[in-house]
Structure 1
Amino acid sequence: MELRQIEGLYQPVWHKLPIDQWADDLRRACGHFRPVPLRDQRKVLGCVETRHAGGLDFAHVVKDLSRIERTREDARRDDNDCLFLIVQLGGEAGMEQFDRQTVLRAGDCILVDSARPSTFNFHGRFSNQLSVHLPRQLMYSASLVRFVVGQPLDRRDPMALTIRSLIAKIMMMDVAGRSKPHLSQLLFDTVRYAFEFEDVADPLPHLAASWDRIDFVEDLIDRNLTDPDLSPAMVAARLGHPLRRIQEDFQQAGLTLNALIRQKRLKLAAQRLGELGGQGQRINIAQIAYMCGFNDISYFNRSFREHFGSAPSDYLRALPRVPVQ
């Protein structure tokens, strides 16, 4: 089953749209990105369409721009961190993230981290992409598999075909008015193994710049988020830098290590509530809190309310339920 060949899964109708209108549609679908037009370009041939299926958000993005940029400031403005699983449906696109540069052709897949700067280059060529929004904290914390972001998966790779087929299946079930929650979890696992990091040595990188250290620390936190012993001191010891120096890096970015760890754990808790609640499963909120690294349920409830504006139980009741057949 090939995603690009199944009629009815996506039937976009693209038009010549004012760039500001197209940019607003993209921001609502994917967060803060900055479209850069060609010289004298006033309109975009394309569309941005969204869809929710199998508990996941999808965005179908079509354009003929020069490029699309996402800065650190843009990433900080978005509260809902995710990994964009990009499937190139048609045309080509250049992709830059983590100093990696690649070209995506029809059928290729790539993971893009919404929490990091990125650039998509089109040079005015028509590009048709599907973006699947995978919860970032869930992807990192719920698996021991180490996977890499910003590295393409060739369209001829069997794992790329599997990913496209799973996406097609999730969409087809949604079109039929049914849902199989296990398919989303299967997609998560497939993506992790498809982009598995194979460097066994994993040497500690040389991190001279402040932003490099911040990026490394955030990734380290993401991969150890459920460890109750995770702390600023543990992070500093792993990085091999004085704790004061790391704290100064984050203070310059308007953050503190303790606040960042708490924020990421709260996002993970919300994502777990959404994952399990959407499947209609019975949920023990205290168990969720402990699984996300919180040792004090009262502190968790108070912090959750401060961050999301509602208690975990109210947040759970407000979640949409996916009909399962």
Structure 2
Amino acid sequence: MNGPAAGSQSIEAFRSVLHQHCGRFDALAHDGRVRGNFRRLSLGDIAAVHVSYDVRRIVRDASDIRKDPGRYFYLIIQRAGRSAMNQAGRESVLRPGDAVLIDAELPSIFVPLDGMCEQMSLHLPHSEARARFRSDLTGGLHFAREEPLSAALQSVLERLVLDGSEASQLVQEGFMTLFGAQLADRRTGRLTSSLVQRALAVIARGHRQAGFGAGDVSEALGVTPRRLQRAFAPLGRTVAREIADARLATARGLLLSGSSVTEAAFDAGYTDLAHFHRAYAKRYGESPGRSRDALGKSA
């Protein structure tokens, strides 16, 4: 699922399209112009927007809420790059595969951390979400990609996007059921172990170093490789896979920010360009060069 090509435009034009697709927000540019684009999606009965953008920050404050109440939640799923999101005193750093639930009736702040970022935003009406899940549902909830149900939720989302407006009620119901189960996990406290969380922090800091591997993670944490792998086993993941995914996400973010293919590969920690090309094509369905060329044509 490739994101919309990000063309260069004035900040005023970007704000106008942002209002049209997502409601009233203010966006601040780095230098007066921004790169970004929006594509509206119909996932059966679920309204969604696929967005890519590189701005200083996006803000929804009390004034925006008065003018455009927006009685719905945004379920925002990070696709590429990283971003920080803050609502109700809760700050989440989203990596590809992470998600956050944002309440349109509360102020929020979005800050890209790696230049261009890509997200999917699903719009869930308050009344339906609270009737289905729980009456006290609110915003600011973060869902890490390592949580047991995250991979399944992503797979069903891919199917919804593929089917578009023809998505069956069964697939839509599957998505909502999985999300409800993820909320239930949050309420009962069945979350990722602290060892896994610490390992992910080490990977986030170190994956761009050439030669960085699972042994470096276990050494940094002071645990044996076997113990570390046992911690990841319930998630169906490995430390090596997490490092590989982090490098791919970083490389894609660099490409979307204008880096050359070679720069993106080496800056993301790759030492073998051929391996990078194969891994990138397998993950994103196109070569890194094609991603870079598409950006150049849209700029």
Q: TM-score range by the shorter chain?
A: 0.5 to 0.7
- AA matched with 1:36: L
Counterpart of 2:177 in structure 1 is 189
CA distance in 2, matches of 1:83, 1:134: 5
Which of 33, 37, 40 matches 1:43? 33
Which of 25, 46, 49 matches 1:33? 25
Task: Tell whether 2:13 aligns with 1:21.
Answer: yes
Equivalent runs, 1:1-325 vs 2, <5 Å: 9-38=1-30, 41-122=31-112, 125-144=115-134, 147=137, 149-174=139-164, 178-196=166-184, 197-198=186-187
The runs of 5 or more residues in structure 2 that have no matched partner are: 190-299
Deviation at 1:122, TM superposition (A): 2.0
Cα distance change, pair 82–145 in 1 and its aligned pair in 2 (3 A): closer
Deviation at 1:76, TM superposition (A): 2.9
Cα distance change, pair 75–10 in 1 and its aligned pair in 2 (3 A): farther
Cα distance change, pair 158–148 in 1 and its aligned pair in 2 (3 A): farther
Cα distance change, pair 30–79 in 1 and its aligned pair in 2 (3 A): same
Deviations 1:222-265 (A, max 9, x none): xxxxxxxxxxxxxxxxxxxxxxxxxxxxxxxxxxxxxxxxxxxx
CA distance in 1, matches of 2:104, 2:97: 21
Give the TM-score taking structure 1 as reference length.
0.53
The structure showing larger relative contact order (alpha-carbon pairs under 8 Å, at least 6 residues apart) is 2
Per mean C-alpha deviation after superposition, the further-off stretch among 95-104 and 143-152 is: 143-152
Cα distance change, pair 146–159 in 1 and its aligned pair in 2 (3 A): farther
Cα distance change, pair 11–118 in 1 and its aligned pair in 2 (3 A): closer
- AA matched with 1:69: V
CA distance in 1, matches of 2:63, 2:23: 12
Deviation at 1:145, TM superposition (A): 7.9
Larger Rg: 1
Deviation at 1:52, TM superposition (A): 1.5
**1:116 counterpart SS class:** coil
Cα distance change, pair 156–163 in 1 and its aligned pair in 2 (3 A): same
Deviations 1:78-135 (A, max 9, x none): 2542111111001110010010012111111111111111001125722111101112
Cα distance change, pair 136–10 in 1 and its aligned pair in 2 (3 A): farther
Cα distance change, pair 34–144 in 1 and its aligned pair in 2 (3 A): closer
Cα distance change, pair 145–70 in 1 and its aligned pair in 2 (3 A): closer
CA distance in 2, matches of 1:30, 1:68: 12
| Bigger share in helix | 2
**1:49 counterpart SS class:** strand
CA distance in 2, matches of 1:191, 1:146: 16
CA distance in 2, matches of 1:16, 1:145: 42
**1:195 counterpart SS class:** helix
Cα distance change, pair 160–76 in 1 and its aligned pair in 2 (3 A): farther
Counterpart of 1:316 in structure 2 is none
Deviation at 1:32, TM superposition (A): 0.3
Deviations 1:175-228 (A, max 9, x none): xx733023223322322321335279xxxxxxxxxxxxxxxxxxxxxxxxxxxx
CA distance in 1, matches of 2:178, 2:105: 22
Give the TM-score taking structure 2 as reference length.
0.58
CA contact (8 A) 1:147 1:195 kept: no
The runs of 5 or more residues in structure 1 that have no matched partner are: 1-8, 201-325
